[in-house]
Amino acid sequence: MTLRLIALALGLALPLAAQPTVAPRVDDDAARRLFARAEVVAAVDALKAREAAILDDQVAISEIPAPPIKEATRAEAVRQRFVAAGLSDVRLDAIGNVLGVRRGKAARPHVVISAHLDTVFPVGTDVRVTRSGAVLKGPGIGDDARGLAVLNAIAGALSRSPIQTAGTVTFAATVGEEGLGDIRGARHLVDTELAGTIDAFVSIDGVGLDVTNVGVGSRRYKVTFAGPGGHSYGAFGTANPIHALGRAVAAVSDLSVPASPRTTFNVGRIGGGTSVNAIPFEAWFEVDLRSVDAAALAALDARFKAIVDHAVAAENARWSRPGQVSATLTIVGDRPAGSTPESAAIVRAARAATQAVGERATLHDGSTDANAAMQRGIPAITIDGGGSGTGAHALDERFDSTDSWKGTVRAFLLTLLLAGA
């Protein structure tokens, strides 16, 4: 019998995965029993007592610049922390992710807990952190220095604790989560480095105590229209790239998309031309297409491409002078859509762990490293790292550490539940 058939026979809800996953079994009673065990209580108390040191680590990490595609210095700092935490097989993979392992009794279930190394801030940004009371201020202090500090903390807590987990946990600090990074680090983990072995994937990203179980997919294009150009009066009758662009943007703005699954479009930037009295030889725009559903995103993508083709054909048909307009599409962003159902064990485990720290988790959609795992049918969520804050992706980002221990402890308990303890 295959794993899936065994699971079906036992009435376990396995996700529709491209690979068989060993779904962690979670029910509220099991969670309560686990959280009441003496060695778990001791580990949680120790972790709670370390929160001030964890915040110091968060500041130290945040002050190591990690611009897009330049995460290596911060990666090395995390690598050293993984070694100090006592993880085994600490390594950098081919794309620059940092990995470390805490072995359980068996290789499976295999749980991956991650946070991202990169920030949105360019080289030269002043990343110093200032503190006033419980508030830490600095670019990237929450997103995702918080996630990395929690990751280091629970790796250390698990190493120091005598708790034996059934399955194995891989801790991963990923490159390329933000913007044009297109979650390349998480994709590499899922598709190459750990391909076919992941049973649950958790990303720690953002502040608060909520859970993201729906991954918004996006496709972004730069569309460039080109033509022969010419004098506005003398060459009148020549197909015009800006006119073709206008036709395309008008058709995009008239697109109808479903409200559910939520699907959106936006033309966000536009440019081209050289002079008011010249037929331009080039014009371009950038468009952002999104959906929480992969099929809806693919359908929108197909309609968008047809619009561009049609706009070019209509502009060329309009004029008789020789010389035609053409369009080139360049993908400037591509994130897969996916979701983990509310009823999935990983979501129930996250809720139980949140309850254990006296809070309730609200479910959200978002675009995070978890998208990469969701796309492959792996049970995946993103959890906030605790505390609260404002200004993610802004220079005046703030992290309020009031009760931030709840984020650390929740991530630790979730890891135990998923690995089976």
Instruction: Provide the binding-site residues for Zn ion, judged by CB under 5 A.
Output: 143-144, 205
CA 208 from chain centre, in angstroms, equals: 16
Residue 398: both structure tokens together:
């703030």
Q: In the bound complex, what is the minimum distance in angstroms from residue 51's beta carbon to Zn ion?
A: 21
Integer Cα distance of 223 and 218 in angstroms: 16
- Alpha-carbon distances of 274 from 233, 271, 315, 414, rounded to whole Å: 15, 10, 20, 57
Q: In the bound complex, what is the minimum distance in angstroms from residue 116's beta carbon to Zn ion?
A: 6
Residue 372: both structure tokens together:
């990469």
**Smaller CB distance to Zn ion: residue 189 or 419?**
189
Integer Cα distance of 402 and 260 in angstroms: 37
**Smaller CB distance to Zn ion: residue 143 or 315?**
143
**Smaller CB distance to Zn ion: residue 143 or 193?**
143
Q: In the bound complex, what is the minimum distance in angstroms from residue 119's beta carbon to Zn ion?
A: 8
**Smaller CB distance to Zn ion: residue 315 or 384?**
384
**Smaller CB distance to Zn ion: residue 240 or 382?**
382
Q: In the bound complex, what is the minimum distance in angstroms from residue 205's beta carbon to Zn ion?
A: 4
Task: Determine contact, residues 231/274, Cβ cutoff 8 Å.
Answer: no
Q: How many CB atoms lie within 10 A of CB 390?
A: 12
**Smaller CB distance to Zn ion: residue 15 or 181?**
181
- Three-state DSSP at 412 gives helix
**Smaller CB distance to Zn ion: residue 101 or 202?**
202
In what helix (H) or strand (E) does residue 81 lie, and over which residues does it extend? Answer: helix 72-85
Q: In the bound complex, what is the minimum distance in angstroms from residue 186's beta carbon to Zn ion?
A: 11
Q: Which of 175, 178, 148 is nearest to 82 (CA)?
A: 148
Q: In the bound complex, what is the minimum distance in angstroms from residue 148's beta carbon to Zn ion?
A: 10
CA 70 from chain centre, in angstroms, equals: 18
Task: Determine contact, residues 284/325, Cβ cutoff 8 Å.
Answer: no
Q: In the bound complex, what is the minimum distance in angstroms from residue 167's beta carbon to Zn ion?
A: 26
